[in-house]
Amino acid sequence: MKITPVHDLSWYIKWVSSLILIGSIACRSAGFSDLDIYLSFVGITGWGVVGWLWGDRALILVNGVAATILLIAILRMI
């Protein structure tokens, strides 16, 4: 039984964010660590929004912490 929403706003954010995170992992493996950090931040933030839309505190917590850590890394690079 599928219980996650389909074709609503969260569904699109979830899939776009997932594809961005896959791209960030590919960038990391290819040695583009700066691009990886930016893409990871976008993907993680997207998943944080999904967690907020779903009211899922675990998704909000893990992605909120990860986004904060990645934002610190981005700010250090500037």
Stated pTM of the model: 0.93
Tell me how far apart the alpha carbons of residues 76 and 65 are, in angstroms, rounded to a whole number: 17
Q: What is the pLDDT along the chain (78 residues), one digit of tens a residue?
A: 768 888 999 999 999 999 999 999 999 999 998 999 999 999 999 999 999 999 999 999 999 999 999 999 999 998
CA distance 11 to 70: 24
CB contact at 8 A, 23 and 40: no
